[in-house]
């Protein structure tokens, strides 16, 4: 990790996978330094005229591509930063930093509450929340694209010598397992853990036999929600439509793992999570943990916009089949916490609330 998640100088990721404190920081900053990034989601940048922006990049075509830049610096990030450091003066006013740290404290409390829920079906947040502190300090974490990416990005707390790989540019499903296999081959002395969705894993699950053949001790945790979950929530929250065409048939991935010659576990309850995860990590060969999780747990941005809230309500009003279960989850945490930051509730736009 470039900046460990435990550092007081980070508020985590930004965007759909990010945190509310990160979005708050972007909305309130007066200066923005972009280092080797051309983050594509324009709606998360400061509003025009709000902040002075400096961008460092090796590729001149990236400078000013996403947001207006006052100063563009072409070069290697490390070299440019080393040249800039002697020119900086410490800002003695720490209000911005302290506010961000206080918000992160609240955010972590929210994550802890969600990651320890004992409701059934088990919440997907439980898996990475319990797994995170059990990972070795040099673990390589790989991930698919989908809801699993959201849960992994928020709940796995990367430490200094850990690495995280996902298909961030193309958002390609099924990448988590082959990434893990490649990492185990390239770094045989480092633990490798993959967190994937059932939809993505099913696309390339034959590759598990490769891990067995070469005795690669990868650990694969599957979020089994019996759906293409990210597509489901995009249909509901982004388009205002009930879900359609996203159901997956149930597959017993633990039995499949055993059939391939790997070890399989099935995890269904929060109370068993730590024991099962410890057993999986301690095993010396390839392991699959089939985690049966709630298909109606919303995968929302760190902060929910007014537009997203209304599209969500529209989907429910149009006849979303799982309305009662979705609304139950929303009431418990997602919308109340996200929308309350604006000082008013939008829950009244959701039928029945």
Mind listing the pLDDT tens digit for each residue in 297-346?
888 777 777 777 778 778 878 887 777 777 777 666 554 454 444 444 44
Reported as a single tens digit per residue, the pLDDT across 31-50 is 999 999 988 889 999 999 99
Is 161 strand, coil or helix?
A: coil
| Every domain of the chain and the residues it spans | 20-101, 117-292, 306-349
Looking at residue 342, what is its pLDDT? 45
Place of tokens 């390339």: 204
Cis peptide before 343 (omega within 30 of 0): no
Contact yes or no for 200/173 (Cβ under 8 A): yes
Residues in Cβ contact with 351 at an 8 Å cutoff, skipping those fewer than 6 apart:
313, 316, 317, 323
CB neighbours of residue 130 within 10 Å:
21
**Half-sphere exposure for 25 (CA within 13 Å, toward CB):** 26
Adjacency order of strands within the sheet including 192-197: 163-165, 140-143, 192-197, 219-224, 287-292, 263-267
Residues in the chain: 353
Contact yes or no for 151/126 (Cβ under 8 A): no
Is there a shared CATH topology between the 20-101 domain and the 117-292 domain?
yes
The rounded mean pLDDT for the chain is 90
Question: Would the pTM count as exceeding 0.85?
Answer: yes
CATH T-level topology, domain 117-292: Rossmann fold (3.40.50)
Reported as a single tens digit per residue, the pLDDT across 50-84 is 999 999 999 999 999 999 999 999 999 999 999 99
Reported as a single tens digit per residue, the pLDDT across 156-165 is 999 999 999 9
CA-based nearest residue to 63, from 77, 84, 49, 50: 77
Q: Cβ-count burial of 235 within 10 angstroms (0-12 exposed, 13-18 middle, 19+ buried)?
A: buried
Q: Say yes or no to pLDDT of 170 above 80.
A: no
* Separation CA 149–CA 316 (nearest Å): 25
Q: Cβ-count burial of 231 within 10 angstroms (0-12 exposed, 13-18 middle, 19+ buried)?
A: middle
CATH T-level topology, domain 20-101: Rossmann fold (3.40.50)
Under the phi-then-psi rule, with left for phi > 0, alpha for psi from -120 to 50, and beta for the rest, what region is 166? beta
* Separation CA 12–CA 154 (nearest Å): 8
Q: What is the CA radius of gyration of the chain?
A: 21
């Amino acid at each position: 990790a470039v900046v460990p998640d435990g550092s007081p100088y980070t508020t985590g990721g930004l965007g759909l996978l990010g945190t509310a404190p990160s979005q708050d920081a972007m909305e309130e900053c007066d200066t923005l330094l972009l280092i080797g990034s051309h983050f594509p989601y324009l709606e998360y940048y400061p509003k025009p005229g709000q902040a002075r922006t400096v961008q460092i990049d090796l590729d001149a075509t990236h400078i000013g591509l996403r947001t207006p830049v006052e100063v563009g610096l072409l070069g290697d990030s490390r070299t440019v930063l080393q040249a800039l450091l002697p020119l900086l003066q410490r800002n003695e006013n720490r209000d911005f930093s302290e506010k961000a740290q206080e918000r992160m404290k609240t955010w972590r409390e929210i994550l802890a509450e969600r990651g320890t829920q004992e409701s059934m079906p088990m919440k997907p947040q439980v898996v990475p929340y319990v797994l995170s502190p059990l990972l070795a300090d040099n673990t390589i974490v790989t991930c698919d694209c989908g809801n699993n990416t959201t849960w992994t990005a928020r709940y796995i707390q990367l430490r200094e010598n850990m690495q995280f790989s996902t298909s961030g540019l193309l958002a390609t499903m099924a990448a988590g397992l082959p990434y893990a296999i490649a990492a185990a081959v390239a770094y045989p002395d480092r633990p490798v853990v993959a967190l994937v969705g059932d939809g993505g894993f099913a696309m390339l699950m034959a590759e598990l036999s490769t891990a067995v053949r070469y005795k690669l001790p990868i650990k694969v945790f599957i979020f089994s929600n019996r759906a293409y979950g990210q597509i489901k929530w995009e249909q509901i929250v982004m388009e205002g439509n009930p879900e359609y065409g996203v159901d997956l048939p149930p597959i017993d991935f633990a039995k499949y793992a055993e059939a391939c010659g790997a070890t399989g576990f099935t995890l269904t309850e929060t109370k068993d999570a730590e024991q099962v995860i410890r057993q999986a990590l301690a095993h010396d060969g390839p392991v699959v943990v089939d985690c049966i999780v709630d298909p109606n747990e919303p995968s929302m941005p760190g902060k929910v916009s007014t537009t997203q809230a209304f599209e969500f309500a529209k989907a429910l009003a149009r006849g979303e089949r799982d309305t009662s279960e979705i609304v139950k989850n929303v009431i418990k945490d997602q919308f109340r916490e996200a929308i309350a930051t604006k000082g008013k509730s939008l829950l009244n736009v959701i039928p029945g609330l």
